[in-house]
Amino acid sequence: MTGRGKNRTYSTIGKTYHTENLQYELIPYRRLDYPLRPQRTVVQFNSTYMELIDMWDISRGEIVWSQLLILSVAIFGLGTCIYMVFLEVNRNGIGLFIVFLCVMIAIAFGMVYVLLRRLSRELFTYTYFPIRFNRKNGKVYVIGNDKKVETYDWKNLNIHMDAKVNAPWDVRCCDVDDNGVIQRTFSLPFRYQRVHKVLYGHFEFVNRYMSAKDDKELAEVASSIRHIFPVHQRKETFKESVQRSLLEYHYDFDDTEFPEKTLQLDWLFVINIPFWFLKLLGRRLS
Tell me how far apart the alpha carbons of residues 85 and 82 are, in angstroms, rounded to a whole number: 5
Angle subtended by helix axes 273-285 and 238-246, to nearest 10: 130
Please name the residue ranges forming H helices in 160-269.
Answer: 197-211, 215-222, 238-246, 259-262
Question: Mean pLDDT, consecutive 10-residue segments, the chain of 286 residues?
Answer: 47 72 83 90 95 86 78 79 74 69 78 78 80 96 82 93 76 88 88 80 95 93 92 91 80 72 69 85 86
User: Contact at 8 Å (CB) between 71 and 115?
Assistant: yes
What pLDDT does 95 receive? 64
C-alpha distance from residue 23 to each of 30, 162, 164, 169 (Å): 16, 10, 14, 14
Torsion angle of C-alpha atoms 228, 231, 233, 239, degrees rounded to 10? 80
> Residue 212 has what DSSP assignment?
-
Tell me how far apart the alpha carbons of residues 207 and 34 are, in angstroms, rounded to a whole number: 11
pTM: 0.81
Burial label, 26 (beta-carbon count in 10 A; 0-12, 13-18, 19+): buried
What pLDDT does 138 receive? 95
